């Protein structure tokens, strides 16, 4: 039994994330075999030897962080639109004038798959540098079959270039391409589903007045062979969360304009609320998601970067935790659970990642901190000591 252990981290202080108080074990060890955790807990009850023993010297060990909502694969940037918004234009106005998502669509269609990978890698590396071991990446800037496939392939290819797990989400219903009828385009998105199936883990849509209606999203989700997620109630309330609930969505994301009926639908469907404080901050939104009501209804809360060129040019999950606390009032524990256990749930991967528990992938972040609260507290400071992905 002991000789089968590949690696053992000793003298660690564990935040296992197995309970809402972080599941702390002050004198802990983590044992790994074949890339999986075989034991994480009190040193007294755990193994004491392995092929390789790593002394953590009292450092904290958390699960590797999970960024469960990004648009990390895209070409170009929209710094020019940021300047327009600073001069008074709104995000919706820029979108209606053919900018916004459509401007990134043009750049992304023009880029090769390799160019998308090359442009995505520095963003991915920024996440990795802060201990991220799993990232979700959406398509949605192709808005036609070949370009959507190119994005999904580029996203998957990132996991061959870096030691990280990538899950992909098909967001063909991100925006209606110029000159197309919304329902006709939606029909074509539904027709893309069999083709994207081998490249995607989930299907997403943008339910918003400037994008797709709740009825249209309902139609897409009814046709989806994959689990669904939804950009919902971000800029206004369109009832997207009711549709998300109806289709047992893994998550509904953004949620600034979420109301009581939407919360009830999410609670009934056990849909995770993914909050994106970076987009809230960057668009200077003033309406906050109903965090207390979500919590009271028992809806699990995750947080993510939303890394995208329009509303969140952001590649720091540590900063997102600080924003979720300062802007949305999440507790330290909610922030940390939100980038680990609940983020795993938002990806439908709670069985594999998100906590330090036997059987899960040995994805660890080891930190030079005195308490996990520091991960939420500091701004622009990275205390990562080491990052382990699948035991390496």
Is 308 near ligand DI6 (CB under 6 A)?
yes
Of ligand DI6, Fe ion, none, which one does residue 56 interact with (CB within 5 to 8 Å by kind)? none
Is 306 near Fe ion (CB under 5 A)?
yes
Q: Is 81 or 306 the residue whose CB approaches Fe ion more closely?
A: 306
Position among 158, 306, 343, 365 found at the interface with ligand DI6 (CB under 6 A): 306
Element (H, E) at 173: strand 165-173
Task: Report whether 149 contacts 81 (CB < 8 A).
Answer: no
What values do phi and psi take at 348, rounded to 5?
Answer: 70, 25
Is 147 near ligand DI6 (CB under 6 A)?
no
Of Fe ion, ligand DI6, none, which one does residue 238 interact with (CB within 5 to 8 Å by kind)? none
Q: Name the residue with tokens 């001069």.
A: 87
Position among 123, 231, 341, 387 found at the interface with ligand DI6 (CB under 6 A): 231
- Rounded-to-integer distance, Cα 130 and Cα 65, Å: 8
- Rounded-to-integer distance, Cα 74 and Cα 336, Å: 28
Q: Which two tokens stand for residue 35?
A: 């890339």
Is 234 near ligand DI6 (CB under 6 A)?
yes
Pairing of strands 36-42, 24-33: antiparallel
Q: Which stretch binds ligand DI6 (CB under 6 A): 96-104, 128-136, 144-152, 241-249?
A: 96-104
Residue 172 beta carbon to ligand DI6: minimum distance, rounded to whole angstroms? 12
Of ligand DI6, Fe ion, none, which one does residue 213 interact with (CB within 5 to 8 Å by kind)? none
Residue 231 beta carbon to Fe ion: minimum distance, rounded to whole angstroms? 5
- Rounded-to-integer distance, Cα 306 and Cα 72, Å: 8
How remote is the C-alpha of 389 from its chain's centroid?
17
- Rounded-to-integer distance, Cα 62 and Cα 364, Å: 6
Q: Is 17 or 107 the residue whose CB approaches ligand DI6 more closely?
A: 107
Q: Is 55 exposed, middle or buried (0-12, 13-18, 19+ CB in 10 A)?
A: exposed
Residue 66 beta carbon to ligand DI6: minimum distance, rounded to whole angstroms? 19
Residue 277 beta carbon to ligand DI6: minimum distance, rounded to whole angstroms? 12
What lies within 8 Å, CB to CB, of 83 at 6+ separation is none
Interactions with ligand DI6, residue window 148-187 (CB under 6 A): 174
Residue 131: left if φ>0, alpha if ψ -120 to 50, beta else—which one? left
Q: Is 39 or 206 the residue whose CB approaches ligand DI6 more closely?
A: 206
CB closest to Fe ion, residue no: 306
Residues binding ligand DI6 (CB under 6 A): 71, 100-101, 104, 174, 206, 231, 234, 279, 306, 308-311
Residues binding Fe ion (CB under 5 A): 306
């Amino acid at each position: 039994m002991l000789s089968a252990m590949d690696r053992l981290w000793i003298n660690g202080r564990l935040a296992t994330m197995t309970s809402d108080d972080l599941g702390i074990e002050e004198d802990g060890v983590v044992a790994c075999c074949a890339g999986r955790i075989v034991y994480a807990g009190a040193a007294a009850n755990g193994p004491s030897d392995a092929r390789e023993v790593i002394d953590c010297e009292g450092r904290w060990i958390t699960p590797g962080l999970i960024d469960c909502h990004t648009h990390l694969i895209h070409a170009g940037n929209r710094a020019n639109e940021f300047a327009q918004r600073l001069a008074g234009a709104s995000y919706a106005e820029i979108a209606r004038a053919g900018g916004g998502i459509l401007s990134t669509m043009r750049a992304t269609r023009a880029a090769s798959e390799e160019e998308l990978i090359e442009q995505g890698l520095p963003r991915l590396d920024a996440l990795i540098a802060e201990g991220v071991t799993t990232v979700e990446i959406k398509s949605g800037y192709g808005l036609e079959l070949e370009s959507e496939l190119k994005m999904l392939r580029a996203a998957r290819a990132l996991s061959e270039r870096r030691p990280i797990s990538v899950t992909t989400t098909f967001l063909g219903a991100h925006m209606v391409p110029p000159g197309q009828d919304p329902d006709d385009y939606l029909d074509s998105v539904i027709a893309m589903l069999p083709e994207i199936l081998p490249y995607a883990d989930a299907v997403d849509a943008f339910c918003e007045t400037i994008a797709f209606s709740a009825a249209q999203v309902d139609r897409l989700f009814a046709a989806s062979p994959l689990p669904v997620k939804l950009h919902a109630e971000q800029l206004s309330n369109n009832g997207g969360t009711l549709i998300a609930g109806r289709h047992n969505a893994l998550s509904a994301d953004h949620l600034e304009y979420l109301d009581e009926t939407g919360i009830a639908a999410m609670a009934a469907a056990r849909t995770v609320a993914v909050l994106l404080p970076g987009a809230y901050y960057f668009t200077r939104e003033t309406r906050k998601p109903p965090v207390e009501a979500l919590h009271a209804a028992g809806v699990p809360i995750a947080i993510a970067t939303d890394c995208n060129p329009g509303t969140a040019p952001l590649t720091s999950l540590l900063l997102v935790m600080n924003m979720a606390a300062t802007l949305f009032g999440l507790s330290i524990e909610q922030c940390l659970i939100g980038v680990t256990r609940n983020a795993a749930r938002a990806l439908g991967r709670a069985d594999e990642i998100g906590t330090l528990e036997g059987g899960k992938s040995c994805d660890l972040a080891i930190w030079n901190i005195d308490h996990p609260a520091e991960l939420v507290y500091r701004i622009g400071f990275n205390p990562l000591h080491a990052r382990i992905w699948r035991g390496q």
